[in-house]
Amino acid sequence: MDIFFLGTGAGMPAKLRNVTAIALKLLEERGAVWLFDAGEATQHQILHTSIKPRRIEKIFITHLHGDHIYGLPGLLSSRSFQGGDTEVTVYGPKGIKEFIHVSLSLSQTYLKYPLSVIEISEGIIFEDDQFSVEARLLDHGIPSYGYRVVEKDRPGTLLADKLIEAGVQPGPIFKKIKNGEAITLDDGSIIEPHHFLGPEQKGRIVTILGDTRFCENAILLAKNADLLVHEATFSKGEEKLASDYFHSTTHQAAEIAREAGCKQLCLTHISSRYDRNDWKELVDEAKEIFPNTDISEDFKEINIPLN
């Protein structure tokens, strides 16, 4: 599981930072990539990476500001040209359906794969046996969502050799034990599953937030996250400016990470008023409050290790 930053700037494209798009690479977990926002030229950024558009399974849009969605129609269209034939689901605030429909229909774009677009409200917006995704509203002037991706715990691997030693023959019974069922053998002895399973694999939590001021829902979404991706459009001391434009400062992002008990914080959505020489300072500001902080850059990847 890795986070790959395709675009990390604020408002409009700049030479060093394109507008927002973040890929959550779940290649080992489900052979898929989930995208969070698709600012203009997201598909151009993808061309410089190993990401295959046909692998994109889900796209989560945080909010409808142009720097987060103008790349969506082009990306969806090219995915079709490139032979993508599996379904894509787009999640986003009310209005995302109309935006996609109008863009694709006026340009007479026909996709060769099924596309479903879900206008979300707060709560669990997706769940299967591997992952759940929760959405909550942030504070950004227009509806802006944050997403909490929770990987489910996986039961430990079955210790087959140990079972055979204990006199259990391979077969459907193995599956029962793997599922945590206690088994009574013909001789009356009882097989307790926890003796025959390796350690449970704890799931990971990744929280990716849309643009926002400091708010309570950000803390709730980021609770105990392995990685929090939080905007830091402005440096510390610019709280007034950040508040006026419904954004956050480095300090505010770090405070959220600290309050929520996150393991790691990565700052993104960095204003172009800060150039390369300023980035270290931005990180250092956040580190005053939350030491394990990093700053995103276009094409930077962060691995989220197993616990």
Pick from 17, 58, 65, 213 the residue near Zn ion by CB under 5 A.
65
**Residue 156 CB contacts under 8 Å (≥ 6 apart), including other chains:** 197, 198, 199, 200, 201
Nearer to Zn ion, 55 or 65 (CB): 65
One DSSP character per residue, 189-251 reads -EE-GGGSB---B---EEEEE-S--S-HHHHHHHTT-SEEEEE--B-TT-HHHHHHTT--BHH
Active site members: 67
The answer to whether 37 contacts Zn ion (rule: CB under 5 A) is no
Please state, in angstroms and rounded to a whole number, the distance separating the CA atoms of residues 4 and 235: 23
C-beta of 72: minimal distance to Zn ion in Å? Answer: 15
Nearer to Zn ion, 10 or 225 (CB): 10
With contacts defined by CB under 5 A, name the span among 173-181, 208-216, 269-277, 279-287 that binds Zn ion: 208-216
With contacts defined by CB under 5 A, name the span among 63-71, 87-95, 164-172, 184-192 that binds Zn ion: 63-71
C-beta of 233: minimal distance to Zn ion in Å? Answer: 9
With contacts defined by CB under 5 A, name the span among 1-9, 164-172, 195-203, 205-213 that binds Zn ion: 205-213
Nearer to Zn ion, 65 or 79 (CB): 65
Fill in the per-residue mask, 102 to 121: x = in contact with Zn ion (CB under 5 A), - = not in contact.
--------------------
Q: Which two tokens stand for residue 184?
A: 């009574």
Burial of residue 204 (CB within 10 Å: 0-12, 13-18, 19+) is buried
Please state, in angstroms and rounded to a whole number, the distance separating the CA atoms of residues 37 and 71: 9
Nearer to Zn ion, 27 or 64 (CB): 64
Nearer to Zn ion, 17 or 65 (CB): 65
Please state, in angstroms and rounded to a whole number, the distance separating the CA atoms of residues 297 and 51: 17
Pick from 40, 134, 151, 211 the residue near Zn ion by CB under 5 A.
211
The amino acid sitting at 151 is: E
**Residue 120 CB contacts under 8 Å (≥ 6 apart), including other chains:** 91, 92, 93, 135, 145
Report the interface residues with Zn ion, using CB under 5 A: 65, 211
